[in-house]
Amino acid sequence: ELNLVPIYQGNSSDFGGILLVLQDVSAIRRLERMRSEFVANVSHELKTPIAAVKGFAETLLGGAVKDEETSKAFLQIIYDESERLNRLIGDILELSKIESRRVPLMLSPIEIKEFMTNTFAILEVSANRKHIDFQLSSPEELYMEGDEDRLRQIFVNLLSNAIAYTPEGGKVEVDITVTELDMIRISISDTGIGIPEKDLPRIFERFYRVDKARSRGSGGTGLGLSIVKHLVELHKGTITVESKVGQGTTFTLELPQIH
């Protein structure tokens, strides 16, 4: 942006020249735009479940409560939507904390293979329910320095997505290796529905979902992957994604190894 500032000396009739002020306001503008987009998205996301809660409660109050079946169904919707609101608000607060760097990491040495085995255990029930086969392959013991709770959050998020977006009887595989640059590479692959190529670059954006209706059905908030990416970066790592529609998706993380 170019600002022209006339310079006057003493008496305003003494025109002293023109001062050119060159300022890059585009970065500030971009931040402002992102912030207001975020607020707009948040409001929109919150309004949807609130509208459902309100609408079904109104219908019940209007007389539907007399029919037991209907009222049960409506109460279930009200309950589910409240839960969804709860998750949304939790994720929004979490993301804003992480983005403003208000999450001190409690670092300790973590052995990755054991850590992944324990994380699998948390999700075993939901994998079994869909008859999804979990597999872990890892060489010897590998250590990294990390915040256990935050790392748990990363892998629970990625693995529960893998389960959610993989049909019955599919497979979720975690493969751990070491790169030439001494990073621990963890790839999480599924045999699920995949992500269209055009959506891949945006997948880590806040609230971005490939198919809103479908992922809302799965209970997602569209914030999981943004949170994951921030947490990986806080651990000085990287995360990338590859996918083929109808074949599956692989998320690959690289995190610094310690010896």
Nearest-CB residue for ligand ADP: 220
Here the tokens at position 98 are 């992480």
| CB of 143 or CB of 208, closer to ligand ADP | 208
140 exposed, middle or buried (CB, 10 Å; 0-12, 13-18, 19+)? exposed
Judged by CB under 6 A, the residue of 88, 110, 144, 225 near ligand ADP is 225
| CB of 183 or CB of 228, closer to ligand ADP | 228
Residue count of the chain: 259
Closest CA to 107 of 60, 66, 155, 145: 145
**Measured from the CB of residue 38, what is the shortest distance to ligand ADP in angstroms?**
15
Chain positions 124 to 183 lying near ligand ADP, rule: CB under 6 A, are 161-162, 165
**Measured from the CB of residue 164, what is the shortest distance to ligand ADP in angstroms?**
6
Judged by CB under 6 A, the residue of 192, 232, 235, 254 near ligand ADP is 192
| CB of 146 or CB of 220, closer to ligand ADP | 220
| CB of 142 or CB of 158, closer to ligand ADP | 158
CB of 153 within 8 A of CB of 123? no
Q: Please report whether residue 195 would count as binding ligand ADP according to CB under 6 A.
A: yes
Dist. CA 196–CA 210, nearest whole Å: 8
One-letter amino acid of 25: V
235 exposed, middle or buried (CB, 10 Å; 0-12, 13-18, 19+)? buried
Question: Which stretch in 14-22, 40-48, 124-132, 188-196 sits in contact with ligand ADP by CB under 6 A?
Answer: 188-196
Residue with tokens 């585009």: 26
Q: What is the dihedral of CA 90, 101, 195, 88, to 10 degrees?
A: 10
SS3 of residue 208 by DSSP: coil
Chain positions 239 to 258 lying near ligand ADP, rule: CB under 6 A, are 249
**Measured from the CB of residue 76, what is the shortest distance to ligand ADP in angstroms?**
21
One-letter amino acid of 111: E
Q: Please report whether residue 193 would count as binding ligand ADP according to CB under 6 A.
A: yes
Judged by CB under 6 A, the residue of 183, 224, 239, 255 near ligand ADP is 224
The conformation of residue 132, written as its DSSP 8-state character, comes to P
Judged by CB under 6 A, the residue of 144, 184, 210, 232 near ligand ADP is 210
* Helical segments of the chain, H only: 26-61, 68-99, 112-129, 148-164, 212-217, 224-234
- Binding footprint of ligand ADP on the chain (CB under 6 A): 161-162, 165, 190, 192-195, 203, 208-211, 215, 220-225, 249
